[in-house]
Amino acid sequence: MKTTKKILSVFLALTMLLLCGVVASAEDDAPAPVPIAAGDALHTEGEKMFNADGEEVFLRGVNLGGWLIQEDWFCPADNGTQGDHWTLETLTERFGVEKAYELYNIYWDNWITEYDFAEIAKMGFNSVRIPFWYRNFQSDDNGTWILNDAGEIDFSRLDWAVEMCRKYGLYAILDLHGVNGCQGMQDHCGQLNNCHFFDNSEQGEKYRADAVELWAKIAERFAGDPAVAMFDLLNEPMCDVPRFKRNYDLVNGFYDDAYKAIREKDPTRVVCMMGTWDIGKLPNPKKMGWTDVVYQLHQYNDTQASFESRIDASHALKYNVPLYAGEFHPTGIGDADPKVTVSEILQTYENESVMWTVWTWKGYNSWAAWADWFIWGSVEDSLTVDPEHDSYETIAEKWGAMRTDGGCFYSGHLDEEVLPFLPDGRESDKQLSAFAAFFVNLYRKLRIVFEVLVNLFT
């Protein structure tokens, strides 16, 4: 049984390589990128964003999900959906702090490289949302900063990412995706079912103060940098917290404290706040004294009407701020007859002047290449790490093979949905999107046929 499945997996991988590899090697006809300059610095005016030269800027981007904070459903680490905290602590217990971070550095060096930023720009995106968490900068849960050779907090990963954005004419959206104490119940904040960030207690206050301090240090680091579009203060606060336990006064209090700390270091930075799952959870910015703010919503809904109604409700509040969909995806998309597609959602955002970043750039699992979650995806999962049992050398080898251009990843299904909405993208990509769609659909049919054959003969 296992041997047959392995043969099937290899065959499907080779098939995908033959069918879709040509898409990844499309002729590069995009003009040279124009680096971000001082005149590109962003600010808000009413419901729109403008650069310093007075030109309107509408952000159309992609998330770099799974890079600086992993989620095991599309990243090469099996942590039982417990969260990246469990993976990091497991590796630390086995190999020590220094070796654990050596392994993570191998992963971070390969999951996203300069190649990715160049491809993002060539496709026509103008921005990237960069999820990160506190353990990128702190080696434990006690606030121990990771320092560089100069004795300063090591922000080298964010420094490099912002520099890549500058070089390739992209705006960086810095997204605090996970905080000490956890702001929600899902694993994407670092730990599953461990939300204490908003506890109304001394420890909860300490967690929030630590996150405010982190934002103050990041604000000081990137003060005035035009390549940074905005600071995204906190991803999905109160996510999946039981309704009777939610306290949005504490959420908005944290936002206010972080906003003030950022303003002291960077008076002109655009600051982004998110309401989970709608803008109505956020206060009127005028009453808070907030300026240059963007309000963010995430939408994981199942019908076009549900997407539209949430946006209509946001406009009805008349907060007079730009709206931004940092993440979105139709639920139930795997059904034979999905009720709404990514393309339809994007058209709604364009019609309603909602800026957007798709989730996400790449994914590693056995079905990623044919799912509309990823621009780039794999077709097998043999390089997934077992943090409890794989040797240091095995983990290093597997995570070192995660380059987008390293042979594991193929042009995925999401690009065909997104490319029509990228006005500055290279024409060869747009022409090839239909070509790619044909082969991806053929691959899906082949996969179904061979899965049936495996079931028949095993």
Which tens digits make up the pLDDT trace of 258-283?
Answer: 999 999 999 999 999 999 999 999 99
Q: What is the DSSP string of 294-353?
A: EEEEEE--SSHHHHHHHHHHHHHT---S-EEEEEE--TTTTSSS-SS-HHHHHHHHHHTT
pLDDT bucket at 424, cuts 50 / 70 / 90: confident
Cβ 406 vs Cβ 400: under 8 Å: no
What pLDDT, in 10s, does the model give residues 296-319?
A: 999 998 889 999 999 999 999 999
Mean pLDDT taken over the chain: 89
Supply the pLDDT for residue 331. Answer: 83
Cβ 56 vs Cβ 449: under 8 Å: no
Q: Which residue has the tokens 């005035």?
A: 224
331 or 41, which is more confident?
41
pLDDT at position 7 over 80 = no
Supply the pLDDT for residue 448. Answer: 47
Supply the pLDDT for residue 24. Answer: 41
Rg of the chain (C-alpha set): 22
pLDDT bucket at 429, cuts 50 / 70 / 90: low
pLDDT at position 392 over 60 = yes
pLDDT bucket at 11, cuts 50 / 70 / 90: low
Q: How far apart are CA 65 and CA 434, in angstroms?
A: 26
Q: Which domains does the chain have, with CATH numbers?
A: 38-67+112-360 (3.20.20.80)
Supply the pLDDT for residue 339. Answer: 83
Q: How far apart are CA 366 and CA 388, in angstroms?
A: 21
Instruction: State mean pLDDT over 179-189.
Output: 96
What pLDDT, in 10s, does the model give residues 209-252?
A: 999 999 999 999 999 999 999 999 999 999 999 998 999 999 99
- The answer, as to whether pTM is greater than 0.85, is yes
What is the rounded (10 degree) CA torsion for 34, 40, 44, 46? -70
DSSP state of 97: H
Burial of 335 (0-12, 13-18, 19+ CB in 10 A): exposed
pLDDT at position 40 over 70 = yes
pLDDT at position 18 over 90 = no
